[in-house]
Structures are given as C-alpha cells and as structure tokens.
Structure 1
C-alpha cells in the first residue's frame, strides 16, 4: 500500500494481481498479451480487466511495438499507447572494421558493430535485439513484406508469431476468442495470405526508416555488393 504504481511487462496478466490495491497500473505488452490466459474464459476476463484499467486515467496501457498495440486493439477495442524500447545501454556504435556480414546471432555488442551490416530472417514480429542493433546504428537487411509473407505462408518462417506456433508447433486458422474489430482479419490465422500480410505489416522492421529490404536472395546479394552501408548508418 506504500507504492505509487505497479508496472507489468511480461506477462501483462500480472496486472490482475494489483488491481485491488487501487494504485496506478502501467501495463506494457512486449508480446501477444494473452500469455498465461490462453483459455477463452481466462482471456475474456483479462480483456474485461484491461478495459477497466483503460478507463481509469491514472493507468497506462502500452505496447513496445505496433504489432502488439494493434493486436490488443483487435481483441479489446483499446487504443494502446506505443512506447518503443529505447535500448541505449549497449554503449557502442557502428564501427565496421570487418568485411563479413552477419546472419547468425552474436551477443557481444562490440562484435556486432564491427560488421558492415546484419541480415535478418525474422522469427518474430518484434525482436529486442533489433531495437539494440538499430540503436547502435547498424545497417539492417530484412525481407520485404511480400517476401516474408510468402516465406511465412510456405515455410512458417516467423515461428513465434502466435502462441499456437510457439507452444504447440501448429499453425492455427482462428483465434480462441472473437475480436472486437469485425472488419479486420484474424491475427492468429496463419493459413491465409491476406491475413498474414496485413498483420506482418505491423512488425517493427516495417515501421522504422533506413532499414534495407530485399525481394529475393539474388536481390539480397546485389544489395550486399552495392549498398553504401556507412551512409545508411549515418542516416539513422
């Protein structure tokens, strides 16, 4: 009772524990918000509680990426605040001293900044390492929206897009509950190209300027050869 506010990140359903204290609740979603509330009754109850929180001006409901902001809005009707992760803790900046491009994860920040660019094949729609790499001004290459849609439809490349994929290894056709927005395709329908493309468009890597998009593997190779990556870094 002595605290001013509770902050709930992962999972956001933790906020339900703190509602009885009548303090400010700051909810920031960094992934699909129904984590740990998968059953329809639990999920619907979470939606009710989020709506209650949203109606109190002392509370904040946010997401650190546009995909999850739109995802929450789809199921609750709440206009969520977009609050991107700042990631200024890396304490290093782009300084390419090597010729090799990166396609594999490296966890030491100074190693990352020594390479000309990083090639991404996204496994999820919002990746904390992408925030970090962008903050370090590293040039990033990502599949175009059309290419990633094709790859995901055919090969399920973005395999952490839905909880059914993560937990059960299956591609769902429908969510366990209905959305509020009836004019928008179901975000958990991974068997419909139109739905996949619509929702992938909200991914972080399609929101930020100066990310390089490749339309094919041949186009990727061409961009690796011809792009002035130092100039791209200076623009960020």
Structure 2
C-alpha cells in the first residue's frame, strides 16, 4: 500500500516540511515530475536552486541530521530544515550527473541516511529512496567520460526460502530409556545468549538425560541467562573484565582488542586450562562452546567431545593472521564424529558452508525461557523495538504520527517499559501485555524478535527490512574471508567493509534466508502510515498469535527430538572411543 493510498493519516511536518515556503514549493515541483514520469532526472533546475538555498544557510550535514532529530522528538528546530527534501534534491543532482560528480552528491545523501536510521522516505511525500541512492553510489566508476545510466531499484517483497528450521530431523524412539542417562556438560563463552538457551533447554526439557551443567560463562550478560562463572580461575585466564574494554574511536568489531588477544594466546591459555582443570573435569561428557566459536580450542588438550552451537560466524574475534590455521582446525573439529557442530539459523548454515565447504546441522534458537509467557494484551500500546546502533529515530517519528492523528494506540519503546528498564523478573511478562510489537531490525538473526515471537506477540515489520538488517556481526564482511572460501560464489554478505553501506540488490537476494522473512505469521508494512492503518484495522491478531504459538510448539518438539538424538549419539561415540582405548 503506497503512502498516497493510506487515507486519513496526517504526515507530520518533520517529513513534509510544508511549513517552509521554499521546501513546499520544491515539493510541488518534485511531485509534478513524478506524475509525469520524469523523476529523478527532473526537476533539475528547482533541485539546483534548493541545493543552493540549503548551502547558503551555512550548515553542515551533521547539523541537518541534528535538526531532523530534534523535529522528530518534538523539539524546536529551524523550519527551513528539511532532511528528506535535501536528500531528494541530491538524488536529482546525482541522477543528471556522472562519475565522481554523481558519487559526490549521492555520498552526501547517504550520509544523511546512514544505517537507515532516518530512512523513512517511504513514509513521507518525498520520492527519493535510499535503495536507489546506494544502487548508483556503489557501482564502479565508468571508463573515461562515459555517461552513466540511472539504475532504478525494484524492492519486491521478500519471498522466504523454503528451508527447514531443524535439519536433519530425528525420529523419536518408541520407548524411552528405563533410566535417564547421566550427562555432564561444561560451558565457557564470551556471550551467553546461546549457552543460556542450551542450559535451560537441556536441564528442563531433555527428560532422557540427567543433565548437570557446569556454568562458567564470562559474558557480561551471564546473570540474565543464569550461567555465570563460579571459578575465578576461568575469568582470570580469559581476562575478564578486560575483554570488554573497547578501544576509543573503534568500530563495533575491531574495538574488542582484548578478546582478539585472548584468541592470539589461546594455545597457551588452553594448556593452562588443562593443567588447572584436568582432574576435576575428568568426568565431563562434553564441552560446550558458542560465542566466539574460536574458543572451542580452549578444550583442545582434553580427549572429550565438543558441542559447538553456532550463532555467529567462525571468524568472529579471530585475528587475520590466525584465520587460515583456525579454518583448518575448525574443519577437523566439525568433521570429527566425536564432536557435533550446529548452526542456529539457515542463514548461518549457508555462510558456514560458503566459508568451509561443510554443511552443518541446524537447530533453531527457540527463546525457550520466554516462551512460558503468553501474549495477553492489557492496554492500547504497541511496543517498538529499534535497537539500531546509530541515531534511532523510528520511535520518536511514530510518536509524532500518533500525537498528530490523535490515535488511541500509544507507541512505547523498550526502555520506556518500567519492568524492562529496571530489569525486573517479570519484564517479559510485561512486554507480552502490549497489543503488538513493531520491530525495526538491525540484524538478520535478532534475539528480541525471537523472544517476542515465542510469546506469541503479534509482530509488524518493515517490508524493506533488508535495507538495515544486514548491519551487524553475522553479515559483516570483516568476519568472512573470500580468499579462504572453497566456493566461487559471492560471500553471503551485502555490507561494505566497516558496515558503512549496503548493496540493496545483494541484501534483497540474501533476505529470504533470514529469520526475519522465514518465521511465519508476521505482518509487513511499507510505510508508517500503512503501519498505523494496519494496527487500527487489525482483526486477526488473536489468530496470528495462536498460529505463532502453534509454530513455536512444533519447533520445540523438533528441536527436542534433534537434541535427544544428537546427545544420545554423542554419548555412544564417547563410550565407544573409551572402550577402544582400554588396553
């Protein structure tokens, strides 16, 4: 549904700029060119005039974005400020130019839409689109003085890939074992989201095993997942809390210098770990490693099975000079029948296969600890999840729409929910009391999405989610190495190095493999006005919530069957190996 088709929704001034004579006049000229099929090559002269008008104000791009943020938050800002009008003028100037001149204008426009945090052009009357800007910005320069054609971008709805969420599926034996098998598992990780799920799943749901988990996570979030280390020697070996110091001015990944230094010294750390714990860990049945998977090497001097549950790429926090050796070692570990390596998503499975040539099993992340809460809408409010790392303007813009249109439905951010803000034990129960959740994802595998999904909260998401969801670690080209891949295919990422920009066409090609497209029973919207219309007229929320919970139950059954079969097989192989080593 296009913006013009959403009747009765008033668009706030921050997106229309209709209080300024200069911008409203320019908007009329732009809309006329659209009606006559001339945009983005026209209106050229009006675009030059409006760009010169903006330049004559003597402000920078950073100030323009700051003014946009103030307007979005309902604060005072110069009325002659119009971010999306300026982006539209820059697209026109880029379309009629070529070579470096084109890229200068388009790079300026992209700076104003960095990471998509202010890319809500589809919710405004301005016709510029970030996907077209990037499509023309990121192509190679033409040879000589050749004139470049303008490349359009057709953003069709994402069609989810038909891949199983659990593979291979295991059939349950007809009879359970007479007595649960004892299983002792040790875990250590840098981020506990995976180990928290595995611990809860294995101890509460796998009735075939009498499971004891030695929890030794050094994660900042371990207390939320109840897997914190109890032996300070583990923390000392892995340099906690120094591993969470981020170098000033660093990017997301390259800032964790101490984590990479642990990886550099991991052989020595593994020897010390074995020396300290070889006696107390002699009865361990398996070691769990997850984030980063590189830490599986901590257990290299124990003759024990390794269970690697992967949520992130294999080169996360691995220094460049160590990657060739780690790739060889990873293949050895993953192909050893005594071990088991599993991916949480089809997207990661595809990425690992591209990087290693190995097709690993998949068992989806269930958000099992939040699934016990059920969607129970108690008040007229939609929860807005927008955990973007840069300038998240979605929530304040939604609030401007809500206020201007006098809508009964409130828009509430995560941090505005008291139970969430105070980290109360009932915080997820309180999240499930909202009428719906509106999610602006920053990753292709998004834990908050899965947690809300597990509770059956009706979910609304932008149809062009791929325009900013490939901007986190799973899709970062910095954790992939094309030179080490056995595949001739392009790397499964669409971001440029440093996660600065996105290639829209490539993102659209990869989006079908993401959980954001593949989980059923979610609703997708093309603009904020369409979202508000859908929320106001939604009559199928209860049936969708029921269907989500039904899918969750089916997934849970499949995942439990997978783990029952996998751990039984792991124990059998461990015992077979032990028998063969007895003289």
Structure 1 residues 16 and 198, CA gap change in structure 2 (3 angstroms):
farther
Where does structure 1 differ by over 3 angstroms across 4 or more consecutive aligned residues?
A: 161-164, 172-177, 188-191
Matches within 5 A, 1:173-184: 175-178=480-483, 179-184=485-490
Cα offset for 1:77? Answer: 1.1
Partners of 1:192 and 1:216 in 2: CA distance? 21
Structure 1 residues 163 and 65, CA gap change in structure 2 (3 angstroms):
closer
Cα offset for 1:177? Answer: 3.9
Partners of 2:438 and 2:523 in 1: CA distance? 9
Partners of 2:294 and 2:480 in 1: CA distance? 18
Report the counterpart of residue 31 of structure 1 in structure 2. 312
Aligned: 1:197 with 2:523: no
Report the counterpart of residue 350 of structure 2 in structure 1. 70
* Structure 1 gap segments, 5+ residues each: 165-171
Report the counterpart of residue 42 of structure 1 in structure 2. 322
Structure 1 residues 109 and 7, CA gap change in structure 2 (3 angstroms):
same
SS in 1 for 2:530: helix
Report the counterpart of residue 284 of structure 2 in structure 1. 3
Query: Could you tell me whether the CA contact under 8 Å between 2:291 and 2:311 is conserved in 1?
Result: yes
Report the counterpart of residue 167 of structure 1 in structure 2. none
Query: Could you tell me whether the CA contact under 8 Å between 1:173 and 1:189 is conserved in 2?
Result: no
Report the counterpart of residue 229 of structure 1 in structure 2. 541
1:19-47: CA deviations, max 9, x gaps? Answer: 332321111111233122141x3222222
TM-score, with length taken from structure 2: 0.36
Range with greater deviation from structure 2 (102-111 or 71-80):
102-111
Report the counterpart of residue 262 of structure 2 in structure 1. none
Among 6, 13, 30, the residue aligned to 2:294: 13
Corresponding residue pairs, total: 221
Range with greater deviation from structure 2 (114-123 or 192-201):
192-201
Partners of 1:22 and 1:194 in 2: CA distance? 47
Aligned: 1:114 with 2:433: yes
Query: Could you tell me whether the CA contact under 8 Å between 2:357 and 2:486 is conserved in 1?
Result: yes
Partners of 1:73 and 1:38 in 2: CA distance? 21
Report the counterpart of residue 524 of structure 2 in structure 1. 213
Cα offset for 1:176? Answer: 4.3
Among 346, 352, 366, the residue aligned to 1:86: 366
Cα offset for 1:180? Answer: 2.6
Report the counterpart of residue 52 of structure 1 in structure 2. 332
Cα offset for 1:163? Answer: 7.6
Structure 1 or 2, whichever has the larger Rg, is 2
Partners of 1:183 and 1:225 in 2: CA distance? 45
Supply the RMSD in Å over aligned alpha carbons. Answer: 2.3
Partners of 2:317 and 2:471 in 1: CA distance? 19
More helix per residue: 1 or 2?
2
SS in 1 for 2:322: helix
Partners of 1:184 and 1:158 in 2: CA distance? 15
Cα offset for 1:204? Answer: 1.4
SS in 2 for 1:119: strand
Report the counterpart of residue 272 of structure 2 in structure 1. none
Cα offset for 1:197? Answer: 2.0
Query: Could you tell me whether the CA contact under 8 Å between 2:315 and 2:479 is conserved in 1?
Result: no
Matches within 5 A, 1:121-140: 121-140=440-459
Cα offset for 1:185? Answer: 4.2
SS in 2 for 1:132: helix
Cα offset for 1:69? Answer: 1.7
TM-score, with length taken from structure 1: 0.83
Query: Could you tell me whether the CA contact under 8 Å between 1:175 and 1:189 is conserved in 2?
Result: no
Range with greater deviation from structure 2 (9-18 or 85-94):
85-94
Cα offset for 1:109? Answer: 0.7
Report the counterpart of residue 169 of structure 1 in structure 2. none
* Structure 2 gap segments, 5+ residues each: 1-281, 385-412, 421-426, 497-501, 549-583
Structure 1 residues 177 and 37, CA gap change in structure 2 (3 angstroms):
farther
Structure 1 residues 193 and 141, CA gap change in structure 2 (3 angstroms):
same
Cα offset for 1:174? Answer: 9.9
SS in 2 for 1:62: strand
Report the counterpart of residue 101 of structure 1 in structure 2. 382
Partners of 1:221 and 1:38 in 2: CA distance? 46
Structure 1 residues 93 and 69, CA gap change in structure 2 (3 angstroms):
same
SS in 2 for 1:20: coil
Query: Could you tell me whether the CA contact under 8 Å between 2:470 and 2:493 is conserved in 1?
Result: no
Cα offset for 1:79? Answer: 0.7
Partners of 1:148 and 1:185 in 2: CA distance? 20
SS in 2 for 1:7: strand
SS in 1 for 2:441: coil
Structure 1 residues 163 and 86, CA gap change in structure 2 (3 angstroms):
closer
Partners of 1:10 and 1:233 in 2: CA distance? 31
